[in-house]
Amino acid sequence: MNVKRARIVAVVVLLGLAVSLGGPTAAAAQGGPIKIGLLAPLTGAFAALGKDMLNGTELYLDEVGRQVAGRKIELIVEDTEGNTATALTKARKLVDQDKIHVLTGGLLASTGYALHPFADAQKIPTTYPVMASDDLTQRKPAKWVVRTGWATSQPMHPFADWVVKNTKHRKVVTIAMDYAFGWETVGGFQRTFEEGGGQIVQKIWTPLNTNDFAPFLAQIKPDADAVLALMVGRLALQFMKQYEETGRKAKQPLLGGGTTTDESVLPQMGDEALGAITALHYSAALGTPQNQKFFKVFEAKAGKIPSYYSEACYTGARWIVEAIKAVGGKVEDREALLAALRKVEMRDAPRGPISVDRWGNPIQTIYVRKVERVGGKLQNTVIATMPAVSQFWKYNPDEYLKLPLYTREYPPCKAC
Amino acid sequence: MSRRVLGAAVVLAGLGVIAPFLPSYPLTLLIQALISAIFAMSLDVLLGYTGLPSLGHAAYFGVAAYAVAILAVERGAGFATCLVAALAAAALTAALFGVLAIRATGTYFLMITLALGMVVWGLAFRWVSMTKGDNGISGVARPALGLPWDLAMPLPFFYFTLTCAGLAWWLLGVLVRSPFGMSLKGIRESESRMQSLGYNVWLHKYLAFVLSGLFAGFAGALWAYYNGFVSPVDVQLVTSVEALLMVALGGSGTLVGPALGALLIVFLKNFVSVYTKRWLLILGAVYIGVILFAPRGIVGALRAEATPLPRGES
Amino acid sequence: MTTEFWVTQAFNGLSYGALLFLLASGLSLIFGVMRVVNLAHGSYFMLGGYVGLSVVWRTGSFVAALAGGALAIALIGVGMERLFLRRLPATQTLGQVLMTIGFALIFQDVALLVWGGDPYTIPVPSVLGGSVRVGGLLFPSYRIFIVAVALAIGAALWLALEGTRAGALIRAAVDDAEMAQGVGINVPTVSLLVFALGAGLAALGGVIGGAFLGVYPGADFEVLPYAFVVVIVGGLGSLPGAMVGSLLVGLLDNFGKALFPELSYFTLFAPMALILALRPTGLFGRA
């Protein structure tokens, strides 16, 4: 009796699942809505960044009335929880069940590497507005992926060059989060900085779940001229505060990767952030009319100032829409859509002019920014502008690609 | 016995027949559910049959997954090598941890397994030269078994996983119904009685611990191949706790219950998150609701209804 | 390695340990009296920080934030204990684990809903903002403050446990709940008080920690393992154990990160496993 009953339950459950899953799968006929799938972390530790990504995407789609080339745009958002395995499952759901035409989003580098083979296997046109790991468009590019964001070391080469030419810092200590994003930021800086005559005298790597930086800060060599920091989100917030506490800032000013002072955390910082100099392909304080306008509408929609993540997804959404326009709305022709995505050029994005290189990474302006207090609020004031920077900077791409990817060990720290 | 085999065959065959009609997304969810089912069943041996609540079961799952990823990606090892190494790594880890944990009972056992699970997590997270730390290891290719079907495709991999899960189910079923399994249940009910009957209680518990770890490792190895990606998330506390939930939801000490629990949790997580961003809230409520309203789990409740008088075993 | 290195790192370890004590002493007490393995304890820490943050925003007072955070979370703890955990038999360890993790997930989502996902730090009074110079070394005032608070709380708890009637009741309940009930002690009331105290202390830690560790989603599960390590090392239900354990974990963590960065968690967890192997009940625990 009991076994029978359990068996009946099992069969019912299975049938139920089969019905609920196997439902209508008819492909969307041409002329139906164009479906864009967005992967973003809406829960978990990265939820605030995911919200910025979502807001940026929606803002642009709303501006064009959620319509392009006579077809409606439907945005389908899936929560990745900031977890790569989940992101992969959700990507499959978007492609397979929702029949999206373009896949976009993603936050963590590992998600990028995991999506690469997926995009190629599914032949689904995919864009990465945020994921920045160098090799995604360098040594391990994917045919079906176009990066509309940036490569991690892209701002760091020109930044190191700027530091050599415009400051007296010659001996620099780096302190960075211990994962690919940190390694590539430090690696890019180190290469150009040392070629320009500077020296990295110490590299400190901090675990991603650090909350007390004291044991790391106490190790910083006292004879260094400056400290280069790479932190993200709440780590940036705590790092700044605890760095200030050590009383070093006067003698060893802070340099950094862009996220260290990104607008996603800058409003929560205090005077401790003042004077930090960082580099990125965006600053919310850019004075261009395009950015001023974007800043205003974003603030009105989201109730907070735009971060680089917001701009990345705003411009990322526009990128997709422009490509769809270029193929006349015929998104069913995936090869044509991919080709169009690889040809997009913008002169008036909030971050500045953008074009794409042959590896699928943007060529764009890099800004050196300094944290200042303007009108009572902290901002990343742009103090230097380098136009049309490629992910290879001034290096020859072929020779560049023969060198290893920047890691913890590469380039080696000769002066440590 | 034969009725159980028949039931199992019906369920497995049913899944096998339905599969070709499913689109690839629900199919991949089923693959996830099958792997989670192996993981949950392995925990059931410990929790349901031996009465030892492990809060660090993800350790063996994760060690095996990392073994596969490291060997396959860094050394280009084949499927057989990877699988054997993964199972060995999981069993060895369990053998080592068992020595430390088996002495304790109840809450202390829970705490010690939690702590040992954290040791493994700490290594996955910080031993960057070995595990790549938080980046995780990506690029684990599906195994090439010399079969005519490409396991990179969802359907063949589903059948592969289904076979593995069926095998694990059968082996674990044999185990828990063997004399050894019976003595485990005896230990669960009364350790002192078994002791006085002359059983080596420590050894029984220890063997159950290692075997449970071994099967968790089997699930971990499959997981590495399924995702193609391994990261510290796979060994974290929440992964261990989720396995406990699967066992509790389905009904501990029943094997089929945890498998059903795994299926329900995997589908719940993926469906609820489509409709609401607040799925964590719902998952949390499920945890609490299961404990308050179905403390014996689904299968446990069904069997209790059919047999009102508890017979001392479920 | 200079003397400066050792002194600075030891001080950092001490101050981190002091914060851990606030977090872990409550967990240990709750376990001692009720045998509850509370996986929502890290959530009390995080929620305390968030409530403290809101109080500071409204009132501008750090002291009010400390009180408000601790009180609000103590109430949440009371609700959890009275309405849910009490319905489980004490032998239902697994049920407690699943139920408390369920609460942890719910708290995580509620925090996201109410405070958004942005990270914050709690502003502290300027008197605690600077540093104290001793013999050429800088010691941040706020860390000295944390150590002072932990010492004060530790002393107060010890005095209360050893010197007052309520303390005697708690100790009796820790030693043997059934016996205590038998001699007429109202164990449910004692449990409730201890739960409130434990949750409140963790929240206090959250407000104090919120000023230099920050308040952010995910903090709950980040501090939870630390709290467990402290309690496991020190022994479940033991106040001196929580003190020694916090100090030990704070120092091990600090020196481990500074000296062996690749194995920094191993240097924390391996000694713990060793202690467990030799003394399964921890340094000060009783079976």
pLDDT value, residue C1: 61
Domain region containing B225: 31-236
Q: How far apart are CA A354 and CA A344, in angstroms?
A: 8
pLDDT mean across residues, chain A: 91
Question: pLDDT tens-digit profile of B108-161?
Answer: 888 889 888 988 998 898 888 889 988 899 888 888 887 788 888 889 999 999
Least confident of A353-357, A408-412, B147-151, C68-72: B147-151
For A34-150+288-360, CATH gives: 3.40.50.2300
**So what's the ipTM on this one?**
0.86
How high is the pLDDT of residue B152? Answer: 84
User: Strands C137-140, A34-40: parallel, antiparallel or unpaired by DSSP?
Assistant: unpaired
In a domain, B296, yes or no: no
CB–CB contacts below 8 A, A to C: 98
Locate CATH 3.40.50.2300 in chain A.
Answer: 34-150+288-360, 156-280+365-402
> Are the beta carbons of A47 and C258 separated by less than 8 Å?
no
- Please list every residue in chain C whose beta carbon sits closer than 8 Å to the beta carbon of residue A264: 118
Q: What is the pLDDT of residue A119?
A: 94
- What is the reported pLDDT for A211? 83
CA distance A105 to A123: 17
Chain B and chain C share a number of CB contacts under 8 A equal to 134
Neighbours of chain B (3+ CB pairs under 8 A): A, C
pLDDT at A10 over 60: no
Interchain contact, B127 vs C262, CB within 8 Å: yes
Nearest CB among C84, C224, C266 relative to B122 is that of: C266
In this predicted structure, what is the pLDDT of residue B312?
A: 37
Please report which confidence band the pLDDT of residue A361 belongs to, taking 50, 70 and 90 as the band edges: very high
**CB spacing of A21 vs B22 below 8 angstroms:** yes
The nearest CA of chain B is from the CA of A118 a distance in Å of: 10
Q: Going residue by residue through chain B, which has 314 residues, state the pLDDT in tens, using 9 for 90 and above.
A: 567 778 778 888 898 899 999 888 899 999 999 999 999 999 999 999 998 999 999 999 999 999 999 999 989 899 999 999 999 999 999 999 999 888 887 788 888 898 889 889 988 988 888 899 888 998 888 888 877 888 888 899 999 999 999 999 999 999 999 999 999 999 888 888 888 888 899 999 999 999 999 999 999 999 999 999 999 999 998 899 999 999 999 998 999 999 999 999 999 888 887 788 788 899 899 989 988 888 888 888 787 765 543 333 33
| Amino acid found at A382 | V
pTM score of the predicted model:
0.90
- Residues of chain B in contact with residue C272, where contact means CB-CB under 8 angstroms, are 115
pLDDT at A356 over 60: yes
Distance between CA atoms of residues B280 and C108, nearest Å: 8
Mutate to test the interface with A, among B150, B274, B281 (most CBs of A within 10 A): B274
Cα–Cα distance for residue pair A321/B44, rounded to 1 Å: 51
C262 and A CB contact within 8 Å: no
| Cβ within 8 Å, pair A179-B303 | no
Amino acid B311: pLDDT: 37
Distance CA B241, CA C106 (A): 15
Residue C135: Cβ-neighbour burial (10 angstroms; 0-12, 13-18, 19+): exposed
Q: Which residue's entry shows tokens 């700490």?
A: B122
Max Cα distance, chain B (Å): 57
Q: Is residue B14 part of a domain?
A: no
**What pLDDT, on a 0 to 100 scale, did the predictor assign at position A120?**
93
What superfamily does domain A156-280+365-402 belong to in CATH?
Answer: Response regulator (3.40.50.2300)
Tally of domains within chain B:
1
Any idea of the CA torsion for A284, A260, A128, A301, to the nearest 10 degrees? -40
Q: What's the confidence (pLDDT) of residue A386?
A: 97
Q: Number of CB pairs < 8 Å for A and B? A: 122
Give how far A96 is from chain B: nearest CA, Å: 6
With CB atoms and an 8 Å threshold, state whether A14 touches B135.
no
Q: Which residues contact B220 (CB under 8 A, 6 or more apart)?
A: B39, B60, B61, B62, B63, B64, B65, B68, B86, B90, B234
Domain annotation covers residue B20: no
**CA nearest to C215 within chain A:** A234
Respond yes or no on whether the N-terminal peptide bond of residue C123 is cis (omega within 30° of 0). no
Determine the pLDDT at residue A63: 96
| Cβ-based contacts of B24 with chain A (< 8 Å) | 92, 96
Interatomic CA distance for residues C187 and C169, integer angstroms: 8
Rounded to a whole number, what is the distance in Å from the CA of B185 to chain C's nearest CA?
Answer: 18
Q: Do A14 and B18 touch (CB under 8 A)?
A: yes
Interface of A with C in 34-73 (CB under 8 A): 43-51
- pLDDT tens digit at each of 287 positions of chain C: 678 888 988 999 999 999 999 999 999 888 888 788 899 999 999 999 999 999 999 999 999 999 999 999 999 999 999 999 888 876 778 888 899 999 999 999 999 999 988 999 999 888 888 888 887 788 889 999 999 999 999 999 999 888 888 888 888 877 777 777 777 777 788 888 889 999 999 999 999 999 888 999 989 988 998 898 898 888 888 889 999 999 999 999 888 888 887 777 778 877 887 787 788 778 887 75
- Residue B5 in any domain: the answer is no
What phi, psi does B229 have (nearest 5°)?
Answer: -155, 135
Let me know if residue B125 belongs to a domain. yes
Confidence of residue A27 (pLDDT cuts 50, 70, 90): very low
- Bridge pairing between strands A71-79 and A67-68: antiparallel
pLDDT at A24: 40
> What is the length of chain B?
314
